[in-house]
Every structure is written in structure tokens, then in C-alpha cells.
Amino acid sequence: MNDPAFTRIRYEVEDAVATLTLDRPEKRNALDNETIAELAAALERAARDPQVRVLLLRGAGPDFCAGADLAALERMATTAGPLDNLADAAAFGDLLVRMRRHPKPIIAAVHGHAFAGGAGLATACDLVVASEDAVFGYPEIRLGCLPAIVMLFNRRATTEKVAFELVARGERIGARDAERAGLVNRVFAAATFEQDAREYARELARQPPGALQLIKRLLYGMDGAPFEEAIARGAEVNVLARLGEEARAGIREFLAHRRGR
């Protein structure tokens, strides 16, 4: 059942998966201040909920997300000063930081169009699955703008030259090309995409939750760290994992199974 506290998104929990659905299909799920604030609140709720192990981010209607609400941006540009515009942009940036720092894995399930900030929202997730008919793109250049806030995720997911081409040419690419570029982990058939995406999330949620959280913390904590420091962090997390009950139970079960053969 959807949480009545939200009006721009739907928040539902089932099988240890919190599904966050952008729910502005009439606006192609464009991101405005209210939607961004509700997503941030939903992330916080899922982080605190012990029943949630994985988050699945999707869009209602024919598209995942068309990016920023351009009508709202125009109003900000014409009625607000530089500091207010900076605060508006920073709110989206803060949401992306929350996603990266969130303790639990976040999966984007992309169908239809994922453009501009919508493509950035998807790539800010830890994993991306896409319908074979999904289309990604960063068309801001055609409006004289650029995907400045989300470019970091584009650059980290792809090579330098691919990242430059995607934002400088503003072209649309299909799901298979996005997969080859590194923006997408898995592509599923359009006819079964909803079921496949949910099962992908459920399968991940069956993994030991503590280990999942340590993986996310370690992977992003290593980013940019010197070689020796990254290895040292790995050793520390290795100890945390091996002393935890999840690992101890898993090792005992494995050894018992091997002895019983």
C-alpha cells in the first residue's frame, strides 16, 4: 500500500524491497522541488526501516523521468536571484549525495525515456536495469545548458571520451548501447520488464543485508583513495565482515554441507 505522506511519488514495501515510484506521468515524471524533497524523505525512511534491504526506483506511466521540470526552472530563472537558483540546484545535488551515501543498494528500473536529470538520477543509483525499449540521453546542450550536476556519474560510469560525446552531442542512445557504454547493468525484454526488474531487486534483497551494506560502503570509500589506503580499508572491512554473524553462519553452513557430502 502506498504511503499517504507522499503525493509526488509512491512508496511501497514488499519482499524486503522498497519501491519508490516517480508519480507524475502527466509531466513524464519531471523533477521539481517537491518531487526531490519527497525522494529525499523516502530515502531516509527506507534507511531506517529494518524490513527494507534494497530500494527500487522506477517511473509511473510511459517514461522513467524526463529530467528537470523546465517550467519550474524557467520560473526560477526569471523570478529568483543567483543565490536562490544555487539553492535550487544544490537540492538536487544533495539528493544524489544521499543516494550515494545511502546504506542500502538502490536499483534504477528504467523504461521509456531517461533524459537529462532523469538519466543522471538513474546513473546515481548503484545498479541500473533497463527495458529494451528504454532511451537515455543528455540533451541539455541543445538548450544551451549542460548536465553539470549529474556529469560526475556519467563520467564514472563510462570512459572519458564516451562521457564527453554523450553530453556534447546530446544524442539519444538505446538500452543496448547504454549497456555497452557502462550506464546499464542489465537489459530485459519490454514485455516482461516489470516482473524482471522486481525479481532482480528481490534476488539482491535475499543476499545478507550486512554484507550488502559493507560492499557499498567499501566500494565508494575506495574511490579516489591511494592504493595503500584502499587496501587497508579493505582489510578493515574484511575483519568486520568475518566477525559478523552473517559470515560466521554462512561459513558454518558451508563447512557442514561439505562434511556431509
In this predicted model, what pLDDT tens digit does every residue of 199-218 receive, in sequence order?
A: 999 999 999 999 999 999 99
140 catalytic? Reply is: yes
Q: Which domain holds residue 254?
A: 209-259
Do 67 and 146 fall into the same domain?
yes
Whole-number Å distance between alpha carbons of 43 and 40: 5
Report which secondary-structure segment, H or E, holds 109: strand 106-110
- Find the catalytic residue in 132, 140, 194, 236: 140
Q: How does pLDDT run across 39-56, given as a tens digit for each residue?
A: 999 999 999 999 999 999
Mean pLDDT, rounded, for 93-114 = 97
Do 161 and 42 fall into the same domain?
yes
- Could you tell me the three cell numbers for 80? 529568483
Please check the confidence at residue 70 and state whether its pLDDT lies above 80: no
Do 241 and 153 fall into the same domain?
no
Query: Is there a domain that residue 1 lies in?
Result: no
Do 123 and 236 fall into the same domain?
no
Query: In 3D, which of 135, 109, 136 has the Cα closest to residue 54?
Result: 109
